[in-house]
């Protein structure tokens, strides 16, 4: 490859949709519809911190965009486009082919064209920066500060598998191959719940995507809304592949494990039938796992109604 612009042309340039201006100018241009507002989110993925150096580049390309689209899903937004910045130690053609294939496949699936970005050579590690822009009707966003005492607490999808896969990859011990194979997809191929997020507009009060752990991320909703919550552990949608795992490890993975990228949201109990129907139409699984309460704090109850005490971290800390 001859340089930066050849790299962009070969692996990342795609025709922009009609009415958009994509890569090749100083800025991208996109149309803005009357009566709507934009939702914008940006994330960094750093080698050694957020992904292993030997991860499949196709899955890494997918995940780099998926974690950002999950933020749009949490707000109830429809994707408009995205921007990608790469800091690479070298222009590895095989890596770039895989990464761009995974990235573009997810972008095309959710009508989120790549409209620009930047590339630069790094001294050592790979850093991936993605910005996504979405659109939604003005005033309809699902915000963290809108939960009300007495709301149901819901979660989409399943919990625990991504955290267990991460732990197994960190240890890389023999004898866990079957469990790793069953859990690994949850870690490396998260599926952003965009259809569900849009279907929840007008039904859910508050929402967040679970990236750093259920308890930690739900805690952000509770802090912003000035309320607390009681959750039932026996209502948690535990991934089937984790059945039989040590009980303490399983609880930690389910309640505190990150990289889930499912939606946690609150809604009035009167909205239960509509939420179930909306989830079915969106092709999503949802579980009612507790309720919000007026008193601040977050409690998880076991099957007998007693509080569960966790001894590990409550969630992922990006600076720990």
Annotated binding site for substrate: 50, 259, 316
State in Å, rounded, how far the first CA of the chain is from the last one.
38
What does the alpha-carbon distance between residue 16 and residue 249 come to, in Å, rounded to a whole number? 47
**Both structure tokens of 44:** 């960094």
What does the alpha-carbon distance between residue 161 and residue 253 come to, in Å, rounded to a whole number? 7
* CB atoms inside a 10 Å sphere around CB 223: 14
DSSP 17: P
From the list 176, 191, 183, the residue with the least C-alpha distance to 254 is 183
CA geometry: angle at 81 spanning 1 and 77, to 5°?
A: 150
Q: What are phi and psi of 176, to 5 degrees?
A: -110, 20
Question: C-alpha 34: how far from its chain's center?
Answer: 28
Q: Binding site for Mg(2+): which residues?
A: 26, 41, 43, 71, 118, 209, 212
CA of 300: how far to CAs of 50, 87, 133, 144, 188, in Å?
28, 42, 35, 20, 28
Q: Could you tell me what percentage of the chain is helix, strand and coil, using 3-state DSSP and rounding each to the nearest 5?
A: 35, 25, 35
**Both structure tokens of 221:** 């909703």
> Which ranges of the chain does DSSP label H, i.e. alpha helix?
4-11, 57-75, 93-109, 161-171, 177-188, 194-199, 214-225, 247-256, 272-282
What does the alpha-carbon distance between residue 67 and residue 61 come to, in Å, rounded to a whole number? 11
Q: Binding site: which residues?
A: 26, 41, 43, 50, 71, 117-118, 144, 209, 211-212, 259, 316
Q: Binding site for ATP: which residues?
A: 117-118, 144, 211
């Amino acid at each position: 490859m001859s340089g930066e612009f050849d790299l962009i042309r070969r692996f990342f340039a795609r025709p922009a949709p009609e009415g958009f201006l994509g890569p090749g100018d100083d800025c991208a241009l996109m149309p803005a519809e009357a009566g709507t507002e934009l939702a914008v989110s940006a994330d960094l993925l750093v080698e050694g911190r957020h992904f292993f150096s030997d991860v499949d580049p196709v899955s890494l390309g997918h995940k780099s965009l998926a974690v950002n689209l999950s933020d749009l899903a949490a707000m109830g937004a429809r994707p408009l486009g995205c921007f990608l910045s790469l800091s690479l130690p070298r222009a590895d053609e095989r890596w770039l082919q895989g990464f761009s294939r995974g990235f573009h496949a997810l972008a095309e699936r959710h009508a989120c064209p790549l409209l620009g970005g930047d590339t630069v050579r790094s001294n050592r590690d790979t850093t991936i920066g993605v910005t996504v822009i979405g659109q939604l009707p003005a005033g309809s966003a699902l915000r963290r500060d809108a939960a009300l005492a007495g709301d149901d607490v819901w979660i989409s999808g399943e919990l625990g598998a991504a955290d267990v896969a991460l732990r197994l990859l960190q240890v890389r011990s023999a004898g866990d191959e079957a469990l790793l194979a069953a859990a690994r997809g949850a870690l490396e191929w998260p599926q952003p719940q965009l259809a569900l997020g849009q279907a929840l507009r007008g039904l859910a009060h508050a929402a967040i995507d679970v990236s750093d752990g259920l308890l930690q991320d739900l805690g952000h909703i509770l802090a912003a809304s000035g309320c607390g919550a009681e959750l039932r552990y026996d209502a948690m949608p535990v991934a089937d592949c984790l059945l039989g795992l040590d009980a303490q490890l399983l609880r930690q993975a389910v309640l505190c494990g990150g990289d889930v990228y499912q939606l946690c949201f609150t809604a009035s109990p009167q909205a239960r039938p509509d939420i179930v129907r909306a989830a079915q139409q969106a092709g999503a699984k949802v579980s009612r796992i507790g309720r919000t309460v007026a008193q601040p704090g977050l409690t998880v109850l076991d099957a007998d109604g007693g509080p569960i005490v966790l001894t590990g971290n409550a969630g992922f800390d990006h600076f720990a």
